[in-house]
Structure 1
Amino acid sequence: MAGAQPTLQDVMSELGVISGQLTSVENKLQCLDKMDQRMAVLEKDMQTLWLALEDRGKTVDERVSKLEHSAEGADIAAVHISSRIDDRERERDSLREDLTYMKSQSMRNNLIFTGVPEVESESPDTTESILRKHLTDALKIERETVASIKFEKVHRSPGEQTRGRARSLIAKFAFFKDKKSVRREWKQLTGTNCNVFEQFPPEVVAKRRKLLPKMKEARSNGKRSWISYDTLYVDGRPVRD
């Protein structure tokens, strides 16, 4: 009936509904409390993990710093070692140059003759006699002059004697002026199978061989050029590599 007052039963029914809703709310609040507790535990765990990560990061930074210092030290050591190696290489090259120079000085009075006939079982005295005859016949040096020349040693180049092929003849003059005067007569051998040239250490010979094409090129261009020891001269000026 419209406008009728609610009965006790109606009120009790509404209270039951309200009670159910309150129970539902309480249940949800309990769930929220549990979530808060779990969040608190999770937050604590995160904080612990973060502190551990910070400690680990500090340890890593320290190790990296030590490695950087070690690397810097290694770089310095490497530079020092490299410098020492360079010094040793310069010393080695200097010693080699000194040794080559000493060899050259020991050969200063030497001349090598090629194409000089060789007899079987040639003795040192025979070798010297053959050389003196060669100086007179091939290089056109007067007999009196040849007779006055003194040799410290005259010998054939090392190796087995081969039939039909004469080994080079190496002469060590007692005086440089005699060696120089004989060397000046090299043009007398032009057109023959003989030759005469100065003796140098293998290192110097290799350098001179490399300079020959440049010397020939300079001469083809009308320039005066020659090789002295291990240096090429063009129009009186040394040519550096």
Structure 2
Amino acid sequence: MAGAQPSLQDVMSALGVISGRLTSVENKLQCLDKMDQRTAVLEKDMKTLWLALEDSVKRVDERVSKLQYSAEGADIASAHVSSRIDDLERERDSLRKDLTYMKSQSMRNNLIFTGVPEVESESPDTTESILRKHLTDALKIARETVASIKFERVHRSPGEHTRGKARSIIAKFAFFKDKESVRSEWKQFTGTNYNVFEQFPSEVVAKRRKLLPKMKEARSNGKRSMISYDTLYVDGRPVGD
């Protein structure tokens, strides 16, 4: 009926619908509350993670700074060590030169004779007798002069005697003057299998060996050249290695 008032049943039915809708809204609000709570927790967790990340980054930055500082310190230390090594190498080279010089001084009165026949089971006294005879026969030095020469030691070069091959004789003269007097007669050996030369440390021998071709080249060019100790002289002037 038009304009009729709603019955109690209609009102109750409408209220039921409204109540249902309110319940639905409440449920949705509760869900939203839970979502808000979850969002808050998530934001809290995110903040915690972010702070943790910032802390990690800070620690990494500190470590990098320390490493950079250490690296700079290492460069300084490395430069110091390198400088020290250079000093030690120079000191070592200087000591080697001093040692070589001392060796050469100990060999100052020594001459080495090659090609002198060797007998089996040769004793030092026999070696000296053979050398004295060699000085008289091969170098043409007067017998009386040879007899007056004093040796500190005369011996064969180290190693075992091989039949048919004579080891060199190393003679240490008591006086430098006698040594030079004998050495000055080296030309007597020209055209023979004999030779005589001064004894030097191995380091000096190596240098002299390198200088020998330069000395020969200078002589072939008509220049006066000679090797004294470990230095080449051409026309009276020292020449570098």
**TM-score, normalised via structure 1 length:** 0.78
Which residues of structure 2 form unaligned runs of 5+?
Answer: 1-34
Q: How does 1:153-232 map to 2 (within 5 A)?
A: 153-232=153-232
Paired amino acid for 1:145: T
The equivalent residue for 1:69 is 69
Q: 1:43 to 1:119 in 2, by over 3 A?
A: closer
Q: How does 1:31-110 map to 2 (within 5 A)?
A: 51-110=51-110
**Cα displacement string for residues 32-69 of structure 1 (whole angstroms, at most 9, x for unaligned residues):** xxx99999998887766655544433322211111111
The equivalent residue for 2:3 is none
- Could you say what secondary structure the match of 2:56 adopts? helix
Instruction: Tell me how far apart the structure 1 counterparts of residues 129 and 56 of structure 2 sit (CA, whole Å).
Output: 94
The equivalent residue for 1:19 is none
Instruction: Tell me how far apart the structure 2 counterparts of residues 125 and 53 of structure 1 sit (CA, whole Å).
Output: 92
Query: Quick check: 152-161 or 184-193, which moved more?
Result: 152-161
Query: Quick check: 122-131 or 109-118, which moved more?
Result: 122-131
Q: 1:36 to 1:218 in 2, by over 3 A?
A: farther
Shift of 1:112: 0.4
Instruction: Tell me how far apart the structure 2 counterparts of residues 52 and 125 of structure 1 sit (CA, whole Å).
Output: 93
Shift of 1:89: 2.0
Which residues of structure 1 form unaligned runs of 5+?
Answer: 1-34
Shift of 1:120: 2.6
Paired amino acid for 2:204: V
- Could you say what secondary structure the match of 1:191 adopts? coil
Residue 102 of structure 2 corresponds to residue 124 of structure 1? no
Query: Quick check: 119-128 or 201-210, which moved more?
Result: 119-128
The equivalent residue for 2:140 is 140
Residue 164 of structure 2 corresponds to residue 149 of structure 1? no
Report the identity percentage: 88
Instruction: Tell me how far apart the structure 1 counterparts of residues 124 and 162 of structure 2 sit (CA, whole Å).
Output: 17
